[in-house]
Structure 1
Amino acid sequence: MLFHLSIAARDPRHVAQVIAQFWRGEAHPFPPVTPDSWIALAGDDRGTAIEVYPLGTVLREAEGDADSLGEPTPQTGYTATHAAIATVLSQEEALAIAAREGWPAKYRKRGGAFGVIELWIEGHQMVELLTQEMQAEYLALMAGEGYRAMLAAGAPA
């Protein structure tokens, strides 16, 4: 199970606050890794969170008995890193928040099996939002035998 992940954004504070809205959670500063980082907390019983670092931050191993550290780099733009996250909001509520932020978002049916709201944070970082109905579709495919059955039926690799 996933407890947290990290992404990068131009405005980490604002992005963490908006992600927290999808969960009806909270956003707070997150200084342990690198300055100006924020964290969105879902407020669930698993401590689900997304850490949001300044765009261009990379994580590096620290030597000796020390935690890893965040280091700025000139990297910007798109990444393969993304997450599918649950939301308690309806599709309409989630799309309204995306529209308010000016972030591209649309409904997509992944592989004809489950729906997602494909949301592009700040126009470059993809997050898939799953409403309660979409979560049920996702779990039907990804939990238990569903995925193996799809592959055995000849679904595209």
Structure 2
Amino acid sequence: MIHHISIAAENPLRVASVLAEICHGKLFDFPNPGGSYAVVLFDDYGTGIEVFPLGSVYIPGSDTEPSKVIQTSSSPSFVATHAAISVPASQQQIEQIGMREGWQVALCDRGVFKVVEFWLENWLLIEFLPPELATEYLQSIQPQIVEQVLGQPI
């Protein structure tokens, strides 16, 4: 299970506020790097989303030092990294929030399950699973269905 993820955003406070609204979480200042925020869901899994300023990257530490976040001057147009997150908000609420923010939102059929694609700042994909879609998703990842779709494990 994934307990937390970190993402970067052009406007970290705006993005974190929207994520807190959709996830019914709480928003906190996050100390490192400055200008970062944490959305904490207070669910049974300790789910959290850290939102850093765009250009923030993790770099590895040494044998005696932990990794750290530094600022770079480059910003991606799009990234392969994304997350699917079960949320208490309804599909309609998610779509209304996306429309309000001017961000692309669409219900997308992945074949054996559906997700609400939510494009934070129109460049970073989060797949939201409102309760009815979360149930469908969980049913679709049973071993027999996964093997039917993806074939035998390697």
Q: TM-score, normalised by structure 1?
A: 0.90
Deviation per CA, 1:39-80, whole angstroms, max 9, x where unpaired?
111120211011111111110122353321111112212111
SS at match of 2:44: coil
Deviation per CA, 1:63-114, whole angstroms, max 9, x where unpaired?
353321111112212111100011111110110011111111011101x211
Any runs of at least 4 consecutive aligned residues in structure 1 with deviations exceeding 2 A, and if so which?
A: 62-67, 143-146, 149-153
The percent identity for this pair of structures is: 36
Partner of residue 131, structure 1: 130
CA distance in 2, matches of 1:130, 1:83: 10
1:152 is displaced (CA, Å) by: 4.0
CA distance in 2, matches of 1:45, 1:137: 20
Which consecutive unaligned segments of at least 5 residues does structure 1 have?
A: none
> Considering only aligned residues, what root-mean-square deviation do their CA atoms show, in Å?
1.6
1:100-115 maps to which residues of 2 (within 5 A)? Answer: 100-110=100-110, 112-115=111-114
1:79-98 maps to which residues of 2 (within 5 A)? Answer: 79-98=79-98
Partner of residue 74, structure 1: 73
CA distance in 2, matches of 1:100, 1:122: 12
SS at match of 1:145: helix
Which residue identity does 1:62 align to in structure 2?
G
Q: TM-score, normalised by structure 2?
A: 0.91
Which residue identity does 2:100 align to in structure 1?
R
CA distance in 2, matches of 1:128, 1:101: 17
Partner of residue 23, structure 1: 23
CA distance in 2, matches of 1:82, 1:119: 10
Report the more deviating stretch, 33-42 or 139-148: 139-148
CA distance in 2, matches of 1:124, 1:23: 20
CA distance in 2, matches of 1:109, 1:58: 32
Which residue identity does 2:87 align to in structure 1?
T
CA distance in 1, matches of 2:142, 2:70: 37
Number of aligned residues: 151
1:143 is displaced (CA, Å) by: 3.4
Which residue identity does 2:41 align to in structure 1?
A
Partner of residue 4, structure 1: 4
CA distance in 1, matches of 2:54, 2:69: 11
CA distance in 2, matches of 1:127, 1:68: 25
